[in-house]
Amino acid sequence: MSYVWDPIIEIQFKHTGAQSSGAEWVSSVYELPPGEVIEVFRMEIIPPVDTTTGTIKKLKYVTLMIDGKEYPTIRANSVMLPAESPNNAGVAVNFGTPYLWRPITGRIPAPIEGICPKAKAGQTLGVKVVAEDALTDTDVYTIILKCARVRGEGKLVEAVGPVIVPGFSLDTDTYAKSAIPIRIDTWDELPGGLAQSKPQVFPLVTYARNKVATTPNIWYDFDYKTGKVDSDWMNLSWNLVNKEEAYIINAIGVIPNANSKSLRLYIDGRITNPEFTTRPLPEKNIFYPAMFYDVNVNNALKRAGPVFLPKPFMFHGVKGGVQIVDNGTAIPANGVEVHVYGIKFVLR
């Protein structure tokens, strides 16, 4: 068998044609040949654009499909993961640091860093796209996956090492796991893989809109259980006291409304929960997004997000979440969009 180590490859999936609102498109797939493993470290989206109005058409979400299974924690919309291009002010956020980059970085990433989605020999890799706006026969969008790849088990062990110990700590709690020998058949048992045993670690890319209008001067919870968001994957309100799950937020982007005031990362019982201004341009928005839906606004951007927090914010063993508040006048339903990038832990 030939041996290959490719720190960066691109796999592209292009869709042209009509797609009704709510309809799903599942791409053709890349089938991994014998002896190959892949880590997807970035997804980039070239969205459909209405050239008449100059607006980006909305894709409800884009996610990975690995061996026919929908990746559970990636739900990116049209503007969250821009393609790397001189025409784009923003660029997509990496899911994590590939284990396969060890020959370049000189180190094995920590388990909460090495969370890139993983696929192994015999599996398939593709994408699923759900439309929000209705797309016409002339609409085009492209999903780009940037990956690291190895072919050959000997080359895999040479690149990564013979074994990975994927345990980690959150606060003062240690979540231990048995060591995983590095082989083709165990590849997707590592962090980011769909065959992980618990505790599991996944990249988190999601967003939320306020499903109903805000109540003036009252903090708004993006809580699925109380009908405040449209889908369960938009939920940004967590009761984690049983420590079944945990979240780390690394970066945030906000597309605000004219009546927006602030965003906060809230923990129940904490003495202070600092607020961050999120006003429309040209006013101050601490968490400016990667892109807006208006192409003209994007063309004028000097700097784009999402904005990385100076220190990642952890929700573990607490009740809390991401909240917004208006300026005293209600924000209408679907008036604000909050983009979240980070890590999800499934602990039990």
Average pLDDT, the chain: 96
Sign of CA dihedral 199, 200, 204, 210: negative
Residues 165-213 have pLDDT tens digits of 999 999 999 999 999 999 999 999 999 999 999 999 999 999 999 999 9
Q: Is the pLDDT of residue 87 over 90?
A: no
Query: How much is the pLDDT for 166?
Result: 95
Inform me whether the pLDDT recorded for 2 exceeds 70: no
DSSP letter at 188 equals: G
Following DSSP, what letter does each residue of 88-116 receive, concatenated? -S--PPPS---GGGHHHHSSPPPTTT---
- Listed in sequence order, the residues at least 6 apart from 172 whose beta carbon sits closer than 8 Å to its beta carbon are none
Q: Residue 1 pLDDT more than 80?
A: no
Quick one: pLDDT band at residue 140, thresholds 50, 70, 90? Answer: very high
pLDDT at residue 120 is higher than 80: yes
Note the pLDDT tens digit of each residue in 32-56.
Answer: 999 999 999 999 999 999 989 999 9
- Mean pLDDT to the nearest integer, 263-279: 94
The pTM of the full predicted model, rounded to 2 decimals, is 0.95
Q: Give yes or no for a contact between 315 and 322, defined as CB atoms under 8 angstroms apart.
A: no
What is the rounded CA–CA span in Å between residue 224 and residue 118?
A: 29
**Cα(214)–Cα(58) distance, integer angstroms:** 23
> What pLDDT score was predicted for residue 88?
84
Dist CA 148 CA 7 (whole Å): 5
Report the share of the chain in percent with pLDDT over 70: 99
